[in-house]
């Protein structure tokens, strides 16, 4: 199984910034993307605020919070965010057209072994994966809101998802503190 070192998160809304927060806290180099600069600024402020609160409540050490913040990078395009990623988690609005557009683009710009995950809660991961040349490397990783507090992670197998991809998603989820 390929080692996951870099996680890209596409979409810096509520779910995307929460996923970036737990990915960085889990020790991953994390690239959070949004095409709207204001969304990235808001995400950066909220992640910092949530980590500061976790330190205050003694749920996270100050050094772990600082290290997590240092692991997060910001990108203004999916191409820039995903190019070097080992795992890309899409967290755009819950519209099939948007998710298909993102997965089509990611399939073109990511390395062949990169895992593509969707944070969808209700759409078909099989349908989303079908627009790629890597359906075996596509999976659903449905996080629950607020991501930095909720322990549950739903891993959704698409029709062609292979065992290695399921195992990698579970391992990443574990490092993020998810069950």
- Per-residue pLDDT tens over the stretch 52-96: 999 999 999 999 999 999 999 999 999 999 999 999 999 999 999
Which of 142, 170, 175, 177 is an active site residue?
142
- 8 falls in which pLDDT band (50, 70, 90)? very high
pLDDT above 70 for 14: yes
Q: DSSP code of 66?
A: H
pLDDT at 33: 98
- Whether residue 142 lies in the annotated active site: yes
Angstrom distance (rounded) from CA 80 to CA 101: 16
What's the whole-number average pLDDT of the chain? 97
Please give the pLDDT value at position 127.
98
Mean pLDDT of 173-177: 97
Instruction: Summarize the confidence of residues 105-112 as an average pLDDT.
Output: 97
Is the pLDDT score of 1 beyond 90? no
pLDDT per residue as tens digits for the range 24-53: 999 999 999 999 999 999 999 999 999 999
pLDDT, average across residues 122-148: 97
Cα separation, 179 vs 173, whole angstroms: 7
Strand 153-157 to strand 87-90: parallel, antiparallel, or no bridges (unpaired)?
Answer: unpaired
pTM, whole model, 2 decimals?
Answer: 0.97
Tokens representing 75 are: 């990108």
Q: Is the pLDDT of residue 123 over 90?
A: yes
Distance from C-alpha of 30 to C-alpha of 83, rounded to nearest angstrom: 12
Is residue 2's pLDDT more than 80?
no
Query: What one-character DSSP code corresponds to residue 76?
Result: S
């Amino acid at each position: 199984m390929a080692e996951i070192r870099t996680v890209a998160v596409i979409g810096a809304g509520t779910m995307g910034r929460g996923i970036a927060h737990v990915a960085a806290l889990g020790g991953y180099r994390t690239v959070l993307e949004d095409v709207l600069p204001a969304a990235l600024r808001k995400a950066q402020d909220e992640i910092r605020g949530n980590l500061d609160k976790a330190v205050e409540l003694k749920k996270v050490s100050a050094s772990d919070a600082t290290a997590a913040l240092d692991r997060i990078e910001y990108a203004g395009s999916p191409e820039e965010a995903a190019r070097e990623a080992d795992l890309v988690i899409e967290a755009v609005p819950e519209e099939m057209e948007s998710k298909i557009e993102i997965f089509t683009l990611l399939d073109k710009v990511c390395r062949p072994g990169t895992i593509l995950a969707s944070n969808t809660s209700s759409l078909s991961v099989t349908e989303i994966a079908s627009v790629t040349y890597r359906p075996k490397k596509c999976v659903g990783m449905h996080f629950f809101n607020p991501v930095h507090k909720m322990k549950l992670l739903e891993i959704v197998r698409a029709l062609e998802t292979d065992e290695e991809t399921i195992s990698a998603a579970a391992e990443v989820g574990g490092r993020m503190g998810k069950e």
